[in-house]
Amino acid sequence: MIVGALVAGGVAAASTSFDDVPAGKFYEAPVEWAVAQGITTGSPAGSRTFKPEDPVTRGESVTFLKRYDDAIVQPAIAQTLGGLGCTGGQMAYVKSGAWTCGTPVPEFTPRAGTARTLATTFPRAAALAIGSDGFPVVAYAHGDFTTPSQAGIRVYHCTALDCSTGADVGPVYTSFGATHPDIAIGTDGFPVISFYDESSGKRDLRVVHCTSRDCSTRDPVRNLTNTGGSTLGVGDRSAITIGDDGFPVISYVSYTDSSLRLHHCTKADCSTGSNRTLVASGVASDPTGIAIGGDGFPVIVYRASSGGGFGIYRCTKTDCSTGSDGRGDTRSGVKGAHPSITIGTDGLPVVAYEAFDRQVTVFRCTSASCANGQAHNLATVAASHLVAGTSVAVGADDLPVVVYTDFGGGNNNPVRLVTCSTTSCSSSSSIDLAAISTDDGPSVAIGSDANPVVATVVDNTRGDLNFTPLIREMTGVVFQ
């Protein structure tokens, strides 16, 4: 009987409401409960008969269900959820055993496309950007000691979204010691590449401005620090972006005095410009990261040698002649190692870094100085492993994507990509892209099709420069 199925637990009445429902029958209590709830009124309605052995028609069954929903389900929902105060776009859901309100968002899981090998002879480090033609362009350090004329900084320009077609235009700077490139796309639509040469007599920060999309033509390489090349580490670990004035701005470290410095170009080819010391001491030798904040001014992240959060310098002028230094994620014990930065759709920084030992973390700043924000741990690498570099990007959907190397040495150094399903990265999914990589961190960008692309150096006998396109597939719903 359908009323027996609907009853959620009731007490048998002292007497039956119907002459044809004998006391003591197994359905006596359910029938009395249904009468009390207004679900049934007899057959025919209002009579003293229930006809317990008759079949239930489709019309009667749907009527019973509707009365049950009106009498039992809806009042229970109103009583349970009425005080939550969910706003427009929110839904009630159960979290930790209790009802709460949240905004449903798609849950994305990354799926790797076909990996492409772009170079096969001693690549050492790579940086990736999306060109003005919508296709990836990769700058990489090439360390071929067997053919010194080919060693240096090279560029691979893709002519397809997945880099299934493209060409290596050869060295844009020739030196075996050239390393740690970074790349940005200028307002003229052409790549600009910063890098460091660690060769004796050449130890300076350099930049090259391309005059074509594939960098097959370019301006002369500029030496930006001009130390004479004898001082190790002035200009290493650079990061480049394009300022609000349309000219390159480059952050870097100086090992000689553990300082954070910046070069602001006043021409597209950096033939003119100036260097500034932003933080005079206490800066570790990890990579720097730079982006242009929502206020139009550069913001730089770095690792402070004393720990206590990642370092962040916020400029208040385009050339960084004024600004302030601070810390983000100031929880006790946070290292702030291997930081990288991008800007969310709200104009505020999103920073990826190693927080505590071996923990890859994203900090979503809720203020321009990053004094406030949300930190979420994305992954913890194995006890004997190291986090070797991070790279972070945010697409039009404002969902961060992070790539890093889980460096264990030997043949156990996977490159791992994490896609966040919420803007704060409270929910995320990951995928391994390469089993054997170098300790130079990989680079990620959001392609013109809104999917992530990754460039990394694979550590095998001679080394490969790999490019992996990815697809973010919706696999469920999460709440934020």
* 173 and 121 within one domain: yes
The answer to whether position 326 is within a domain reads: yes
Look at residues 25, 48, 82 and tell me which one is the last residue of a structural domain: 82
Express each pLDDT in 392-438 by its tens digit: 999 899 999 999 988 876 666 788 899 998 999 998 999 888 665 56
pLDDT of 146 strictly over 50: yes
> Is 87 a domain residue?
no
| Distances from the Cα of 236 to the Cα of 178, 208, 216, 381, angstroms | 10, 15, 25, 26
How many whole angstroms separate alpha carbon 139 and alpha carbon 459?
A: 17
**116 and 36 part of one domain:** no
**Which band of pLDDT confidence, cut at 50, 70 and 90, is reported for residue 15?**
low
Closest CA to 266 of 197, 207, 218: 207
Cα distance between residue 101 and residue 80, in whole Å? 12
* Dist. CA 61–CA 362, nearest whole Å: 54
What's the pLDDT at 125?
A: 82
Residue 90: inside a domain, yes or no? no
Residue 138 has pLDDT above 90, yes or no: yes
156 shares a domain with 45: no
95 belongs to a structural domain: no
421 and 337 within one domain:
yes
Q: Are residues 33 and 170 in the same domain?
A: no
**pLDDT, mean of residues 372-381:** 94
Which tens digits make up the pLDDT trace of 163-174?
999 999 989 999
CA angle in degrees (0–180, nearest 5) for 178-303-230? 35
Whole-number Å distance between alpha carbons of 378 and 143: 33
- The pLDDT of residue 12 is 43
In this prediction, residue 373 has a pLDDT band, given cuts at 50, 70 and 90, of very high
67 & 197 share domain: no
Q: Tell whether the model's pLDDT for residue 14 goes beyond 80.
A: no
**Contacts with 288 (C-beta within 8 Å, 6 or more apart), sequence order:** 237, 238, 239, 251, 252, 253, 260, 300, 301, 302, 339
Distance CA 476, CA 241 (A): 36
Supply the range of the domain harboring residue 73.
2-82
Domain boundary among 82, 117, 147: 82
pLDDT digits (tens, 9 = 90+) for 271-312: 999 999 999 999 998 899 999 999 999 999 999 998 789 999
Residue 98, domain member (yes or no): no
Q: What is the pLDDT of residues 245-269, one digit of tens each?
A: 999 999 999 988 999 999 999 999 9
- pLDDT greater at residue 465 or residue 303: 303
pLDDT band at 13 (very low <50, low <70, confident <90, very high): very low
Say what the pLDDT of residue 10 is. 46
Q: What is the pLDDT of residue 9?
A: 45
CATH number, domain with residue 411: 2.120.10.10
Top-confidence residue, 213 or 150: 213
**Does pLDDT of 217 surpass 70?**
yes
Predicted confidence at residue 145, as pLDDT, reads 60
What percent of the chain has pLDDT above 90? 51
Mean pLDDT across the chain? 87
Q: What is the mean pLDDT of residues 231-239?
A: 86
pLDDT at 8: 46
| Residue 228: predicted pLDDT | 78
Report the chain's terminal Cα–Cα distance, integer Å: 43
Res. 464: pLDDT tops 80: no
Q: How far apart are CA 349 and CA 398, in angstroms?
A: 12
Q: In what order do the strands lie in the sheet with 400-407?
A: 386-394, 400-407, 415-420, 428-434
Residues 47 and 120 in one domain: no
Higher pLDDT, 456 or 240: 240
Q: How confident is the model at residue 476 (pLDDT cuts 50, 70, 90)?
A: low
- Are 226 and 325 members of one domain? yes
Distance (Å, whole) CA 292 – CA 432: 30
Closest CA to 320 of 346, 300, 337, 347: 300
Same domain as 210, residue 76: no
User: In this structure, are 16 and 118 located in the same domain?
Assistant: no
Is residue 211 located within the same domain as residue 297? Answer: yes
Mean pLDDT for 346-367 is 95
- Do both 188 and 52 map to the same domain? no
- When comparing pLDDT for 186 and 27, which is higher? 186
Q: What integer pLDDT is reported at residue 345 of this predicted model?
A: 96
99 lies in a domain? no
- State the total domains in the chain: 2
More confident residue, 91 or 361: 361
Does a structural domain hold residue 92?
A: no
CB 293 within 8 A of CB 349: yes
pTM beyond 0.95: the answer is: no
Please check whether residue 91 lies inside any domain of the structure. Answer: no
Looking at the predicted structure, is the pLDDT value of residue 101 above 50?
yes
